[in-house]
Structure 1
């Protein structure tokens, strides 16, 4: 993998446009549900789950019992796996019922942060330190189909992000945002992790790596917080394309639409003072672009709720 990526700029750099003026404090968790044709995301600091239907332009949101950092689609499309600040839980979209699964890092100054399902339908996520200054005391974890939690043997992050998996599932990508580098490791079908390495380092003067997604050609698209951009890296870690996002803090990306050819980008207002918000009125919105690539269907979590919650689902 390339530690100092070559940059291949093209003459035309696409520019994303506003789709939903949600004004989220901290939009994250960009996820397209191909079964329903809707886009989901979270406002972490607003403690709300959002859903947008591009067919009619309508948005819906649900209040959460605590900050919702990340989530995953489930085998039952009426259920989501939630990565709340302090715990994982199942959530019934139709009834609002919540079933706790496991607490995460109790006793530490951390919360759940970025997460994605691997190609085998297990949920992989990381945490971030909420102390100031942040310390690299968090971890990366995997929730299995049996709802058992295990810690992955990866370096402890201060702010975990960029979790994504290659099309064949054999490579996992992740980052600790303050390091300004994205890492990769070999990822076995059995979940074994090895050969941890630098995948790419950001070369722009500004910006940190945030949420990522993978296209069907194996390229990694990364939202770069503070950089007003999304950057695509090929499988060797070299930049091939970028999308300009007209807001300071793009946070996460996902491919959606009928042909998975629309790039959705979440963003945030947190940390911007009144003067900055006056210059950046679209901050916290959801943006869309149409790059010359297509995405992959989002894997769903294959574990199931237990007990009465499971019974109520049929």
Structure 2
């Protein structure tokens, strides 16, 4: 059994988007529904919180020292020193019922991120790419709730999650940043939970949080289940491989959708958890800006 540690009991409504910041030595994550950006410092155990101007799906460290934030109102530059958000780009201005949900950074500093229907029913979620200047939409088919993406160590595969469909797709990623053919990588039985955010480690293994599944799973590059880690919260949203050696896994979780009885059975739901892994993650490249 893998030892799981509770490092923050913050009762997030919808904890998401954990991202290790190697320059600062901290973990960034968000509470989408409470519109909070959190920073966890493992050295002190302290969590610092900022309020965002809209639902925030993620923040990612940028090359200029700030962070790129995925807000429901579009992409923004977040300056944690000033606590200020500056709008950079619109995303799907014709779909005000959508919000941004998950993201990752490619080796060249471009960001792949997904949108979703905030009502979790309309098939309006797409995967987009930010190249530091503009947003373009990939050719990946629309779904209701996008999650991931994650990128293989060789940069040739993008893992994209159709959460309601229960499928993690492996999509060809071309050298110019465009996406190609897709195939089913892993299909998860709804009885085991719904696949949420994914993270790819340095050996190409794919970690996924299972919403309603009480666990995180690690799949080998061939799609075989390699490891399952049980957590004390049902709704596990995403794993970030962190720390100086990238072998500390942090898991975000959520209280959303849990009634009083469920919350009594899992009082740390919505907290941040940690456990150790045997394969290091990939260092997160800084986001390209300008």
> If the TM-score is normalised by the length of the shorter chain, which range does it land in?
over 0.9
1:47-196 aligned within 5 A: 47-77=35-65, 79-108=66-95, 109-131=97-119, 134-145=121-132, 147-196=133-182
Shift of 1:260: 0.8
Cα deviations by residue, 1:204-257 (Å, 9 ceiling, x for unpaired): 623011111111111010011110111111111111111111111010110111
Q: State the alpha-carbon separation in 2 of the partners of residues 48 and 97 from structure 1.
A: 13
TM-score, normalised with respect to structure 2: 0.96
SS at match of 1:155: coil
TM-score, normalised with respect to structure 1: 0.89
Other-structure match for 1:240: 226
Q: State the alpha-carbon separation in 2 of the partners of residues 216 and 115 from structure 1.
A: 18
Match of 1:267 among 253, 256, 259: 253
Match of 1:226 among 200, 206, 212: 212
Q: State the alpha-carbon separation in 1 of the partners of residues 179 and 188 from structure 2.
A: 24
SS at match of 1:179: coil
Other-structure match for 2:26: 38
Shift of 1:275: 1.4
Other-structure match for 1:10: none
Q: State the alpha-carbon separation in 1 of the partners of residues 78 and 149 from structure 2.
A: 22
Cα deviations by residue, 1:250-308 (Å, 9 ceiling, x for unpaired): 1011011121110000000111111111111000000001122211111221113xxxx
- Give the paired residue count: 289
Q: State the alpha-carbon separation in 2 of the partners of residues 271 and 44 from structure 1.
A: 14
Answer 1 or 2: higher relative contact order, Cα 8 Å, separation at least 6.
1
Other-structure match for 2:270: 284
Q: State the alpha-carbon separation in 2 of the partners of residues 96 and 162 from structure 1.
A: 27
Shift of 1:86: 2.2
Q: State the alpha-carbon separation in 1 of the partners of residues 54 and 122 from structure 2.
A: 23
SS at match of 2:264: helix
Q: Retained in 2: the 8 A contact 1:139–1:151? A: yes
What is the root-mean-square deviation of aligned Cα atoms in Å? 1.3
* Runs (5+) with no aligned partner, structure 2: none
* Larger Rg over CA atoms: 1
Q: Retained in 1: the 8 A contact 2:113–2:148? A: no
Which protein has the bigger strand share? 2
Shift of 1:93: 1.2
SS at match of 2:263: helix
Q: State the alpha-carbon separation in 2 of the partners of residues 124 and 224 from structure 1.
A: 21
Q: Retained in 2: the 8 A contact 1:27–1:266? A: yes
Other-structure match for 2:280: 294
